[in-house]
Copies of this chain bind each other. A is one copy, B any other.
Amino acid sequence: MKAESPHITIEEFDAICAAEGGMVEHYGFVTDHIGYGEARVRMPIDHAHIRAGGTVSGPAMMALGDFAVYALVMGMIGPSPLAVTTSLNVNFLRRPAPVDILAEATILKLGKRLAVGSVNIHSLGDDDPVAHLTATYSIPPPEQRG
């Protein structure tokens, strides 16, 4: 990966997400880091919506991973609220402990039309992944990104 600066700041990304409503408000996602080719997003465990039997639900982890790739893509191409997921694959590996969950996304491919990211989700303080997912985003043409 080239040592390039990210093309969006966390503040800009948060502003886009706030304007859209949805994921951040719904799940309480916190974007900790956006680099060029990597992003890290956290799901605070004390957010009311994510607890189900004391653990994090599968759909909440899928939403987190999908969101981390959204941040990842914008870190590479700049603000692009119209980027949309075209496919996603997830393997659930372990039952997460009732602590904050972190999604670490890294880029696998940035093409002209598609971006593919890989995400490891793990519990705070434990590097063993609880889920692994890949997500493909369709990238809008440059004139539709702004």
Contacts and interface: CB of A to CB of B under 8 A. Distances in A.
Contacts of A26: 49
A59 B23 contact: yes
Given A53-B20, A59-B23, A59-B66, A134 B89 contact: yes
Main secondary structure, interface of A, reads strand
A78 interface: no
Interface residues of A, number: 38
A85 interface: yes
Given A22-B53, A52-B21, A53-B22, A134 B91 contact: yes
5 contacts: A23-B57, A62-B63, A89-B90, A93-B116, A113-B113
